[in-house]
Each structure stands twice: as C-alpha cells, then as structure tokens.
C-alpha cells in the first residue's frame, strides 16, 4: 500500500519521508495514515541507518488529522479505524530500528505533534508553532497525544497544551524540551542531513540496540524489545546452529 502524498526516498544510508500535501498544510487523511505502516516496513528492511521526516512547503510540518476526513465518520468508525489505524502507523514510526529525525519546517499541531513525538530528534525552524488544539474542536488527542507525548515531554506540558490551549513558538519549545534544536527558516533539512551523517557513521547494530533499550525504558514496546534481545542472542548460539543442522540432516534422511 502506498500514497503519493507520502514520499519515501533513499540516498545511501539516509532515508527521507516527506509529507506532500501543502495545500492542506500536510494534514493526514485515512489513506495517508494507512500508508505509514508499509512505508515504515520498507525503511526497516532497507540499508538506511537513519530516517529524516518532514513536510513539503514552508507553512506546516503537519497540521494533524484532516478534519474533513475524520469529522464525517460515525463514532464506531472513528474509534475502530481512524484512531486504531493511526496508532498502528505512528507506533511503526516510533519503533523503527533506525533513529528518526523530524524537521518541523512549519506549524506542528495536534496530530502533527503526535507524529513529531515518534521521532528521536526534533529540529524546529524558527517560524514553527507547536500545540495540541484538539479540545477546542470538542475532540481529544487520539494518536497517543496523551500517552507517548506525556512520556516523552512530561504530563504537565501536555496538560498545558491540551487543557489550557497553550501554543509555543520554536524558541519556547526548545526551552521546554519539545524540540532539540532551532534553526533558521529554510535550513532545517540541511541541519538534519548533518545530524544524519553523524548517525550513519556509527555502528548500525549498536545504535539499534541503544534505541531499543531507551524505548523499553520509556515504556515503548517493552515486550517486543525483550523478545528481540532474547531472539538475537539465541539466533547466534552454537546450540541453534547444531540443532538446525541435525534437523536438516533428518529431513534429508527422511526423503531418501
């Protein structure tokens, strides 16, 4: 499954995913949300060591969920598909083996902040504005905007945005640790590429394991991390190799 408005490209060890819907401030509709899981799987299975995530244009990184897309859904559809499918896509991004660098090249609101929270490093251009305005529309943040964002940024900050409507400038977001770096307008991608080059020059295995451990400490995919670590150890054991050799030999004897 793919969507042309989510463009994925590769340049050596660096993957880049760009939201290409500037006429709608890079808001996500259902088809775009559905495309996130297969795109993340493609990154996961590639030779890329790092992913850069950004939006097209200068106005918005991502304005969140397209209001026209979700407001037409009845409550069961909204909960069963829009919310759960969004979680599947955002979880896939947050749990990538490769580090993710988000370039907030404009406003980052609602689901846009939830999307940015899936990244490991956030670079904001100086004109970006960041907030969670869902309750002003009579809805709540639905793509882990009260869960993953609270774990990564702290629950009190999420209260201030979601309950009291605070919206932050890039400099305020840096002071509050919502973002990791602020750069001039138009220079976010260049800063991300410099950072990506540092990641690409490091051990992919060590970086992946470190990210998995940090995710587990945060409460992100703890069960999968434990299984993955155990599986990695078992897969490299002499006992497994001997067991597989015996299994194959038994199969050959049975076919003779």
Q: d(Cα 139, Cα 208) in Å, to the nearest integer?
A: 36
- Give every CB contact of residue 55 below 8 A, 6+ residues apart in sequence: 18, 19, 22, 26, 61, 62, 105, 106
Helical (H) or strand (E) element with 36 = helix 30-44
Among 25, 29, 5, 28, which residue's Cα sits nearest to residue 17?
5
Task: Check if 23 is active-site.
Answer: no
Token readout for 174 is 């840096």
Q: Are 117 and 149 in contact (CB under 8 A)?
A: yes
Task: Spell 74-98 as b/e; 16+ CB within 10 A means b.
Answer: eeeebeeebbebbbebbbbbbbbbb
DSSP string, 91-136: HHHHT-SS-EEEEE-SEEETHHHHHHTTSSEEEEETT-EEE--GGG
Task: Check if 44 is active-site.
Answer: no
Q: Which of 56, 114, 125, 220 is catalytic?
A: 114
Q: Which of 56, 125, 134, 220 is catalytic?
A: 134
Coil, strand, or helix at residue 142? coil
Token readout for 44 is 């996961």
Provide the annotated active-site residues.
Answer: 114, 134
């Amino acid at each position: 499954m793919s969507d042309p408005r989510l463009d994925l490209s590769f340049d050596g060890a660096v993957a880049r995913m760009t939201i290409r819907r500037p006429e709608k401030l890079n808001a996500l509709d259902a088809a775009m949300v559905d495309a996130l899981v297969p795109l993340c799987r493609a990154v996961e299975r590639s030779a890329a060591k790092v992913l850069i995530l950004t939006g097209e244009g200068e106005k918005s990184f991502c304005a969140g969920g397209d209001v026209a897309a979700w407001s037409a859904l009845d409550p069961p559809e909204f909960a069963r598909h829009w919310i759960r499918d969004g979680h599947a896509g955002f979880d896939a991004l947050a749990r990538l083996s490769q580090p993710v660098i988000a370039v907030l090249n404009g406003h980052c609101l609602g689901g846009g902040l939830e999307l940015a929270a899936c990244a490991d490093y956030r670079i904001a251009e100086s004109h970006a504005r960041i907030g969670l305005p869902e309750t002003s529309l009579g809805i709540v943040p639905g793509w882990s905007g009260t869960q993953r964002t609270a774990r990564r940024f702290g629950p009190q900050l999420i209260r201030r945005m979601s309950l009291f409507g605070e919206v932050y400038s890039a400099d305020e977001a840096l002071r509050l640790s919502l973002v990791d770096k602020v750069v001039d307008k138009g220079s976010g991608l260049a800063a991300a590429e410099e950072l990506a080059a540092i990641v690409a020059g490091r051990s992919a295995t060590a970086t992946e394991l470190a990210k998995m451990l940090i995710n587990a400490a945060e409460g992100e995919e703890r069960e999968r991390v434990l299984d993955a670590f155990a599986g990695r150890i078992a897969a490299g054991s002499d006992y497994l190799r001997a067991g597989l050799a015996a299994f194959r030999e038994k199969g050959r004897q049975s076919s003779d």
